[in-house]
Amino acid sequence: MKTILSHANLIDCVEPKVRPDTAVLIEDGRIRAILPSGEPGNAGDARMIDLNGGYLMPGLWDVHIHPDYLSLDEMPLADQVTLFGHRLAAALTESGITGMRCAGAHHFMDVAWKRAFSSGQHVGPRLFASGYFLTPAWDLHTHSFLLDDEIRAAFEICRKRGFKVMAHATNPDAVKNAIRLGAHSIEHGYIMDDECIALLLEHDTWYVPTLAISHLTASQASNPFEAAWVAERGLSPALCCRAEAASDVHATWFRKALDAGVRMALGSDIRPLKEAALLEMGLWVRDGATPWQTLVAATRHGAAVCGVGTELGTVEAGKLADLIVVAGNPLEDITNVRRLQLVLKEGRVVSDKRHLSGAVP
């Protein structure tokens, strides 16, 4: 089946510009052609969707997520698995998060939902699963989690089994050890130094800064979206103190990595999943990234860090049609990604909110 999305303001996340009055031809789940709206080509019996000037772009990615970690006394396991699936699906349909990478989940619930979504049994984002992750109890940013021999053994096991390593590294020694041992990505990197930046560049290692972990407290909330999230989460004073102690240095090393050209993708590490990536995008801009850099991190780079950059992450002929439409230009104001109108997964509309924004379906 063919679908033509016409009269779009296209942001393809290849070039930092808007292509006005553009049409995209989708067939068999893939983008077949990108044309001026007046030249739809051989449309045949294609379904026509007039976007009326909406901003068409790749679906968003959040490449550092977790389910809620609840004890079985708080919620039975079956209910926890169901809750995680519901929140994953809501992230797709309510916020346009078409791809996610799980950074650790108990009882392999991420693996279960990956299979459910991939098989078409349920509608949800593309989920890249990790299962359990290796971690001790709660620790300080300045501490390394594991002994050097333990870290080396973990990396060696992953290397032998062909697994990529997401290294949750929070201080300079941990970051440098992980990069030298061959980490695919460094998560968090709250505290780094110049050698960390040099090693990230030398080894072409991905960096996922998860700014939300240190930036979202009541005293730091800078807009109504952040304030509402803080009020709803009800973070403990201890968590807020921990976050605020790391916030400034975290922002400093985020900006240094960005300015140095380190490969960076957007991941949130917070919940609910339908809000997480959107909040993280705002924090990137607050800390000095341009809206364009932020969009690339949340689209093209999200797909690339998950190993599917040749198939997803940009709007180009031949790629899978995981797309969203928003009512305002996110290159002018990143919060316009919240003005969601349409979500398509492999060319199929899975969420249509145009009536809510006043647009004509």
Q: How many CA atoms lie within 13 A of 310 on its CB side?
A: 1
**Alpha-carbon separation of residue 8 from 21, 57, 145, 314, 358 (angstroms):** 5, 9, 48, 15, 16
Q: What is the spatial distance between Cα 62 and Cα 192, in angstroms, rounded to a whole number?
A: 23
Q: Please determine, for residue 40, whether its predicted confidence score (pLDDT) is greater than 80.
A: no
pLDDT value, residue 96: 98
pLDDT > 70 fraction of the chain, expressed in percent and rounded: 95
Q: Give the integer Cα–Cα distance in Å for 230 and 141.
A: 21
Confidence of residue 149 (pLDDT cuts 50, 70, 90): confident
pLDDT at 147: 75
Radius of gyration of the chain (CA): 20
Q: At residue 44, does pLDDT exceed 80?
A: no
Which has the closest alpha carbon to 20: 331, 257, 264, 346?
Answer: 331
**Tokens read off for 293:** 């850099």
Q: Do β-strands 47-50 and 2-10 pair in parallel, antiparallel, or remain unpaired?
A: parallel
Residue pLDDT, tens place only, 150-174: 889 989 999 999 999 999 999 999 9
Reported as a single tens digit per residue, the pLDDT across 84-133 is 999 999 999 999 999 999 999 999 999 999 999 999 999 999 999 999 98
- Between CA 175 and CA 168 the distance in angstroms is 8
Angle at 359 between CA 354 and CA 361, to 5 degrees: 65
DSSP code, position 211:
T
For residues 69, 70, 76, 77, the Cα torsion angle rounded to the nearest 10 degrees is: 20
* Residue 181 in tokens: 């041992």
Confidence (pLDDT) at 143: 64
Q: Please write the tens of the pLDDT for every residue from 262-293.
A: 999 999 999 999 999 999 999 999 999 999 99
Q: Residue 69: its pLDDT value, please?
A: 87
Say whether pLDDT at 307 is over 60: yes
Q: What is the pLDDT of residue 43?
A: 67
Q: Which residue has the tokens 């249509």?
A: 352
Provide the sign of the torsion angle of the four alpha carbons 295, 299, 304, 306, taken in this order. Answer: positive
Rounded CA-CA distance 315/323 in Å is 8
61 DSSP β-pair partners: 99
pLDDT of residue 316: 98
DSSP 49-89: EE-TT-EEEEPEEEEEE------TTTS-HHHHHHHHHHHHH
Residues 6 or more apart from 118 whose CB is under 8 A from it? 126, 127
75, 142, 181, 206, 273 from 306: Cα distances, Å: 31, 28, 19, 11, 18
Residue 137 has pLDDT above 60, yes or no: no
pLDDT band at 39 (very low <50, low <70, confident <90, very high): confident
Helix axis angle for 148-161 and 172-180, nearest 10°, is 40
- Write down the pLDDT at residue 146: 74
Mean pLDDT of the chain: 94
Q: Which amino acid is at 196?
A: C
Q: Quote the CA–CA distance of 117 and 146 in Å, as a whole number.
A: 34
- For 235-272, how does the pLDDT look when each residue is reduced to its tens digit (9 = 90+)? 999 899 999 999 999 999 999 999 999 999 999 999 99
Predicted structure pTM score: 0.95
For residue 359, give the 3-state DSSP assignment: coil
